[in-house]
Structure formats: C-alpha cells, structure tokens
Amino acid sequence: MQRSALPYWFLHPPVSSSEYFSRLALTLAHEAAHGRRTDGRILPNSLAVAGVSAPRAFLRQMNPGAESGGSHAVDVLATLASGLGVDSLESGKKALEVVRARSPEMVALSEQTGEDLVTTSAGFIEMLLASLRTDVDLPWAEFEQRSRDYGRLRAAQGLPLESLIDVLAVYRRATMELISRPIQGKPHYEEIIALAQSRLEDITERLTTALARGYLDYIDEEHRARESEMYGLAAIVSAMGRSLDLMETAEVALVESLAALRLSTGAMWLRERSTYKVAHTVGLDPDQVDGFARQTGPHAKAAATAMGGRSESQVDRVASPEWNALRVQLRVKGRSVGMMTVGTIADRVFNTSDLLFLAAVADQVAIAIDRARQFASEARTDHLTGLANRREFERVMEREVALAERHKRRLSLMMIDLDNLKRINDRMGHSAGDGALRLVAQQLMRVVRASDVCARVGGDEFAVAMPETDLERAGDVATRLRRAVEHGALSMRSPEHVDVSVGIAAWSAGQDWQTAYQAADTDLYEDKRRRKTVRRWQQEDQPAIKIFGRAGGRRRVSGA
C-alpha cells in the first residue's frame, strides 16, 4: 500500500488545539529525524515552488467553524498541493503513458530529439499543483513562458495543436487523481474536489492560451520566413537573368544567397575539368580565403548531408572551429558545375527549411551558371565542328604571341583548307559537306597536342596555334593530318575523296600574329597549287575510263 504524502494528523484532524500542537510537534520531529521538510520544494530540473505553510493555516483547518467552509477547503487544498509536489515525478511517468497511448507521434518525435518526457510531464503537473496554493506567490510569467516555449517546440516538430491541448487535459486529470486519492472519504471531500477542479480548469485554460500563442507565433514566424525566402529566390533568379557573363552570374548568385539567408560570408567555386577554382568571395579578406576553403570548401568534410527534397543539388552542413556554414554542390543534369558555401562565425543553427531553401537556390544558380558557360562557349565555339571560332582564335593568337615574346619561346601556325568541299556539296548535298567538315575537325583534334588550339576560321578553312613548336614538327603534324583524313574518309565509305591542303609558318620575334597568319595562308595556297598539279599529272598518266548508265539494257564503256 502506498504511503500517503500527508501526515496522519492532517487526514485525522484533532479535536482540540492542545492535541493539534502535540501531533504537530511529533510530526515535525518525525520529519526532521528522516531528513524531510514539508516546504513543498519540487524536484530538481523542474519548477521550484518555495514557501512553508504557516501554522495558522493548520489552525484554520482544525477550527473550520472559525472561518467559512470555503476558507477551510482553500487551506486544505493548499496543504495538499504542497505535500503532493514530491510525487509529481511518479505522476509524470503515469501521465506519460497516457500521452503515449493518445499521441504516439508526439512521443516518438520527442524521444528522437533526446527530450526527457518524464521531466516535461512532471513539470506541467507541478505547475498545476502550484496553482492550487494560496500561501505562496506564483511565478505566472515563468509558467506562461514555459508553455509558450513548449508550444513553439511542438510546432517545430509539426505536431497538430489539438494534440497539445489534449495533452494538457491529460496532465489536469493526473493532477486531480493526486488530489483526490489521499482525501477520499474524508470531511469536505466534495468541496475540496470542486475547488480543485475549478482552479485547475482556470490554470489549464491559461496555460493552453500561452501554449497556443507560442505555437501560432512559431507558425507565423515560419510563414514570414518562407515568404522572405520566396522573395529572395525570386530576386536571385531575376538578378541572375540580367547577365550572361559567367563571373558576374557567380557573384550575383553568392551575394543574393547570403542576403536571403541573412549570412555574412561565402565563396563560390566553379568547376573546371577535375578541379574547383574560386570565382568570387564575400566577407573574406585575401588572407582568409585559403583557410575558409580548407574548412568549408569543396574538399572539407561535411558534418551532415541532406539532398534537399526534390533538388538535384546536394546540401551539406559544415562545422569547423571557426565557421558555421552550409555548402551546396551545384549540379545540372547529373554533372557538377560548381560549389557554393555560405556561413557565419556567429552561432547559427541551420534548420530543415534553410537546407530546402538553399537547395532550391542552388538549382537556379546551377542552371544560370551552366547557361552562362554555354553562352560563353557558343560565343567562342564553332557550332558545327565544336572547334574554336575565328574570334576565339584571334584572342588565342594575341595571348600566345605575348607569351612567346615574354618567355622567348617558339610558336608555329598551321592553316588547313578542305579542297573539294564545293564539289561534295554540289554532288551529295550540304549534309555531306557538313560531314566532311566534321571529319577534318575530328582528325585534326586527334593529331595535335592538348596545348594546341584548333579553330574553324572560315567556311572550309581551319587554323591551329602551336606553341613551343618549330616548323619541322609542324610539318610532321601536317603529314599525319593528311593521312588521318584520308583514312577517315575511307572508313566512312565516302563516295567522294576528302582532300586537304596545309600551310605552315613560324612566328618570329617582333612580328604580330597577323604576319605569321598571312605567311601560313600563303604556304597553304602554294600547297594547294602543288597538289592540283600532282593530281593533273596522275590523271594524264592513267587511262580515262568512264562508266555510263544503262542504255537499252547494255553498259557502254569509253576509252580503252
């Protein structure tokens, strides 16, 4: 049988003041001997309700006739609440089982976060017990703040408000059980229970209001945050749409992302082949960039990873001794185009909405960067062959001549012309002519070095800038190119030969690139003239055999 938290003399009131003081002295001595105090202090890590019941409160209990019956019930209820505080933890455990049965999703979510639900339940029961006392000043502001915080926490977990209100009702019923059990069948039972119910309804309504306010405050803040994020995303898309320059796009994307997430520091890396290169930084001094990259950049270890809903871009939480940051890999169609890190040195806890927002931003940033890069590529590239176009080739030659001047190194230039493109177009159509141009471009890329720059500079003309190359090696490349083109045409079973003429020239110190270009072009036409002469001699040395179409069902052959 469970021992009552209230002393025997309280449950069995004496009939005289002298007997009352005798029993009170014995009880206090008993409490002191066992190291217990009846000051109503609540367990650690929960609400502390201080205050000792005054002797006159007990005297009023023993002389109910001296005051009204209502006053007697008030004093008894206060004493009950004071003594029952020590049982709140056990009651919290029992109440938690009821909550677990009624709201299993709330219990599951809370346990995942490591919350001590027994302490939470006991804390609410302690607040309800404290509200039944009249001998102490109650910290209502603290009670309401705790309820608001509880409402915000459950709103963040996505629990419905109705479930939280139902949980408070469970705590109220648990408190009523604590009150009713020790005074069952005792004098004034009905009056005390009615008073307890009335007060608990009042405090529960007050706590419910505070809880709902905290819950709705969180929902409102989240709504405002999502609205701000939507405007931020729209601003990012709009700002990036105003430019097709790759570096400007990277800068705008980083600046607008930091503004939307209310962060101060960030960096943007663009992927070039297998490496990442810094494109833009915000909030970093030059001597901080390398450290920021080591701690939060492309090769830093992530603390946690989340894909970010339907986003293709991967978002990581990156924690270092100095930075709290989010890092996102910018991906388009399964390939990485860059990486962006945004962060702060201040304390910042990034929630799920931050991850989802940055993932959505990253998708738009990745598309914009890919578009800018594609635009830049199209501005530099011949759409048919994939080689550099004439404008890009001129930029390359300006750069290579400057490097050759500065480092005193060699530079050669090769020009290529497809001899019979017009005949192919006339006899087989322009699609065959396009195929011949692509064939020359493919074979050209096969025979040159990675450091050489190939370009289509005209309708049937190609050019190659060849740094660190002399005329002898350039001549070897020209020979390999002719053989590769001939072999490629044979493997394609082309009905027309694909012939190329090649001219080479070496740049000399003090010249501009146009001089070398003109020399290579002159050599090209000399090669073309020589090849025509050779072909004419070959045709004269061979018998002229022509095969005509059928005439009257027979084949005619002319020339012997």
Contact 479, 374 (CB under 8 A): no
The residues, ordered by sequence, that sit 6+ positions from 287 with a Cβ below 8 Å of its Cβ are none
Same domain? 266 vs 348: yes
Domain that holds residue 278: 242-377
What pLDDT sits at residue 43? 29
User: Helix, strand, coil proportions of the chain in percent (round to 5)?
Assistant: 60, 15, 25
Burial of 5 per CB tally in 10 Å (0-12, 13-18, 19+): middle
Dig out the tokens for 505 from the structure: 């020239």
Q: How far is CA 468 from the centre of its chain?
A: 46
Same domain? 282 vs 400: no
CA atoms within 13 A on the CB side of 223: 7
Beginning with the edge strand found earlier in the chain, give each strand of the sheet holding 411-418 in spatial order: 453-456, 461-467, 411-418, 500-506
Same domain? 369 vs 396: no
Q: What is the 3-state secondary structure (H, E, C) of 385-421?
A: CCCECHHHHHHHHHHHHHHHHHHCCCEEEEEEEECCH
Same domain? 459 vs 358: no
- Residue 191 lies inside a defined structural domain of this protein: yes
Same domain? 21 vs 149: yes
The 10 Å Cβ neighbour count of residue 510 is 7
- Residue 489 lies inside a defined structural domain of this protein: yes
| Dist. CA 519–CA 297, nearest whole Å | 49
Torsion of CA 261, 306, 321, 251, to 10 degrees: -40
What pLDDT sits at residue 58? 38
Same domain? 103 vs 168: yes
Same domain? 399 vs 282: no
Domain count, the chain: 3
**CATH code, domain with 330:** 3.30.450.40
**CATH code, domain with 525:** 3.30.70.270
- Residue 395 lies inside a defined structural domain of this protein: yes
- 219 phi and psi, to 5 degrees? -60, -40
**Predicted confidence pLDDT, tens digits, the chain (560 residues):** 444 444 443 444 444 433 433 343 334 333 433 433 333 322 223 332 223 333 334 333 433 333 344 577 788 777 777 777 556 666 667 777 777 777 677 777 666 666 777 777 777 878 888 888 766 677 888 888 988 998 898 888 888 888 888 888 888 888 888 788 888 888 888 888 888 888 888 888 888 899 999 999 999 888 887 777 777 777 777 766 666 777 888 888 888 888 888 899 999 999 987 889 999 999 999 999 999 999 999 988 877 665 545 567 788 888 788 898 999 999 888 888 999 999 998 888 787 778 888 888 888 888 888 888 888 777 788 989 999 999 999 999 999 999 999 989 999 999 999 988 888 888 888 888 899 999 999 999 999 998 899 999 988 999 999 999 999 999 999 999 999 998 887 666 666 778 899 999 999 998 999 999 999 999 999 998 888 877 666 555 555 444 344 444 444 444 43
Same domain? 38 vs 140: yes
Same domain? 54 vs 139: yes
- Residue 398 lies inside a defined structural domain of this protein: yes
Of 114, 166, 362, which is closest to residue 254 (Cα–Cα)?
362
Same domain? 373 vs 430: no
- Residue 3 lies inside a defined structural domain of this protein: no
For the entire predicted model, the pTM comes to: 0.47
Same domain? 341 vs 446: no
Same domain? 366 vs 415: no
- Residue 197 lies inside a defined structural domain of this protein: yes
- Residue 560 lies inside a defined structural domain of this protein: no
- Residue 231 lies inside a defined structural domain of this protein: no
